[in-house]
Amino acid sequence: MTDTAHTPKPMNAPAVFLGVQPGFDTHAAIELYVLLSPVGHHPVGSTVSRQTLERHGYTLLGDSGELVNVSKQKISQSAS
């Protein structure tokens, strides 16, 4: 008998990208998002990490539907 269990579709996170908190020493950079809808115990307007959104079952999809991974992009800082 074939397993016909339905795999749930990823939910696009109800959040907008705020920025990246730079890493230091052995700590990695953290992608930060502002919530447009409550997620878990975090109310609207809260700043949360990508990991928090993913723990609640959300994915971060770009405008064309592809997965977004901001932390793997090179972040350049211009000298003033």
Tell whether 80 is covered by a domain. no
- Position 23 scores a pLDDT of 94
Residues 6+ apart with CB under 8 A from 68: 17, 60, 61, 62
Q: Tell me, yes or no, whether 65 lies in a domain.
A: yes
Q: Is residue 2 part of a domain?
A: no
Q: H or E segment at 2? A: none
Residue 6 within any structural domain of the chain: no
pTM comes to 0.67
| Of the candidates 25, 22, 45, the residue with the CA atom closest to the CA atom of residue 33 | 45
Answer whether residue 75 is part of any domain: no
Write the pLDDT tens digit of every residue in 5-57: 555 556 788 999 999 999 999 999 999 999 999 999 999 999 999 999 999 99
29 falls within a domain:
yes
Number of domains present in the structure of the chain? 1
